[in-house]
């Protein structure tokens, strides 16, 4: 359990670079093109690794569910990078923390389990943090909407993947999801109104880093830890991504990423929520209950 938590935090640090790289890529590479290349390059790298390891893919009859999840992942990333392009990294990553709230509501509905008071209370704390973050940031309202849509889709595929990973080989599952999302987005780009853009120079380098390190590596690792951690634990810990990402963005981009004091207070509240969650979860288990302590009602 402890080693998986460490791995999860490593994944979060890698994920934090995603927003930074997304901003470094030139505006000419729009969000659908960016995500299409990201998923196709990531699937290519992961596919090569599967061949080297001699691992087989699941039966063809099971492919459809992984391909559909891949489309969900692709849509999540399109909204995520669109949010960065119309606002900034700090706003996008801060708003993405709402994924924890969405997960706490979606997981019991899909798994037909009881709602956990602990999960709900922790999610409310996260939402308070988000409110503090955006008290003076409503000029970025379009970015906020895109980021919230991204968070909702992230929560949905996290819960779905949690169900799939228990009975699937993680590497082959991740390959099919990335390939499915990349192929379906390719169809949208080629057949829709979105113009196909060929990346070159630095953009191509950034896309390869985004695909092979921030996607293939991080995607597989996040699925691996789901074997022992709950979907809510994964989603809540990933709320550290705004904290890491905001620090990186301010260091790299300077004044364009500096926000109000309320923003940073909210980020600290989100961090405190993540730190407190695991001890409180263990405490409730020791009491033999799956709900929050009675003094909260």
Task: Report how far residue 286's alpha carbon sits from residue 290's, in angstroms, rounded to the nearest whole number.
Answer: 10
Return the percentage of the chain with pLDDT > 90, whole number: 25
Place 245 in a pLDDT band, splitting at 50, 70 and 90: confident
pLDDT given at position 79: 96
**8 A C-beta contact, residue 18 and residue 38:** no
pLDDT given at position 183: 94
Task: Report how far residue 233's alpha carbon sits from residue 248's, in angstroms, rounded to the nearest whole number.
Answer: 24
Task: Report how far residue 139's alpha carbon sits from residue 142's, in angstroms, rounded to the nearest whole number.
Answer: 8
Task: Report how far residue 2's alpha carbon sits from residue 266's, in angstroms, rounded to the nearest whole number.
Answer: 27
Higher-scoring residue by pLDDT: 272, 183? 183
Q: Quote the pTM value.
A: 0.81
Task: Report how far residue 293's alpha carbon sits from residue 90's, in angstroms, rounded to the nearest whole number.
Answer: 34
pLDDT given at position 139: 79
Higher-scoring residue by pLDDT: 23, 123? 23
Place 99 in a pLDDT band, splitting at 50, 70 and 90: confident
Q: What is the pLDDT of residues 135-186, one digit of tens each?
A: 766 778 889 889 999 999 998 988 888 777 777 787 888 899 999 999 999 9
- Mean pLDDT rounded to a whole number for the chain: 82
Task: Report how far residue 93's alpha carbon sits from residue 101's, in angstroms, rounded to the nearest whole number.
Answer: 15
| HEC string for the chain | CHHHHHHHHHHHHHHHHHHHHHHHCCCCCCHHHHHHHHHHHHHHHHHHHHHHHCCCCCCHHHHHHHHHHHHHHHHHHHHHHHHHHHCCHHHHHHHHCCHHHHHHHHHHHHHCCCCCHHHHHHHHHHHHHHHHHCCCCHHHHHHHHHHHHHHHHHHHHHHHHHHHHCCCCHHHHHHHHHHHHHHHHHHHHHHCCCCCCCCCCHHHHHHHHHHHHHHHHHHHHHHHHCCCCCHHHHHHHCCHHHHHHHHHHHHHHHHHHCCCHHHHHHHHHHHHHHHHHHHHHHHHHHCCCCCCCHHHC
pLDDT given at position 36: 95
**8 A C-beta contact, residue 62 and residue 70:** no
Higher-scoring residue by pLDDT: 284, 67? 67
pLDDT given at position 147: 92
pLDDT given at position 202: 92
Q: Is the pLDDT of residue 69 over 50?
A: yes
Q: What is the pLDDT of residues 43-55, one digit of tens each?
A: 999 999 899 888 8
Q: Is the pLDDT of residue 75 over 50?
A: yes
pLDDT given at position 137: 67
């Amino acid at each position: 359990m402890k080693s998986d938590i460490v791995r999860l935090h490593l994944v979060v640090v890698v994920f934090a670079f995603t927003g930074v790289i997304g901003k470094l890529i030139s505006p000419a590479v729009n969000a659908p093109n960016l995500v299409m290349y990201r998923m196709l390059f990531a699937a290519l790298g992961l596919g090569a690794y599967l061949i080297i390891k001699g691992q087989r893919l699941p039966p063809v009859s099971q492919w459809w569910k992984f391909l559909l999840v891949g489309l969900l992942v692709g849509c999540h990333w399109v909204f995520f990078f669109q949010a960065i392009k119309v606002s900034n990294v700090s706003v996008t990553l801060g708003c993405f923390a709402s994924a924890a709230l969405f997960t706490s509501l979606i997981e019991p509905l899909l798994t037909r389990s009881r709602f956990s008071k602990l999960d709900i209370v922790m999610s409310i704390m996260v939402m308070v943090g988000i409110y503090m973050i955006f008290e003076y940031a409503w000029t970025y309202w379009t970015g906020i909407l895109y980021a919230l849509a991204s968070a909702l889709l992230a929560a949905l595929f996290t819960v779905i993947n949690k169900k799939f990973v228990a009975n699937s080989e993680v590497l082959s599952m991740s390959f099919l999801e990335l390939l499915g999302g990349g192929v379906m987005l390719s169809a949208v780009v080629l057949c829709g109104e979105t113009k196909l853009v060929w990346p070159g120079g630095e953009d191509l380098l950034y896309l390869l880093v985004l695909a092979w390190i921030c996607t293939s590596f991080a995607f597989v690792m996040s699925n691996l830890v789901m074997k022992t951690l709950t979907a809510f634990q994964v989603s809540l810990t990933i709320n550290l991504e705004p904290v890491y990402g905001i620090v990186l963005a301010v260091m790299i981009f300077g004044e364009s990423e500096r926000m109000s004091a309320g923003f940073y207070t909210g980020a600290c509240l989100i961090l405190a929520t993540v730190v407190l969650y695991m001890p409180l979860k263990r405490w409730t288990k020791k009491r033999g209950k799956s709900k929050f302590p009675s003094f909260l009602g």
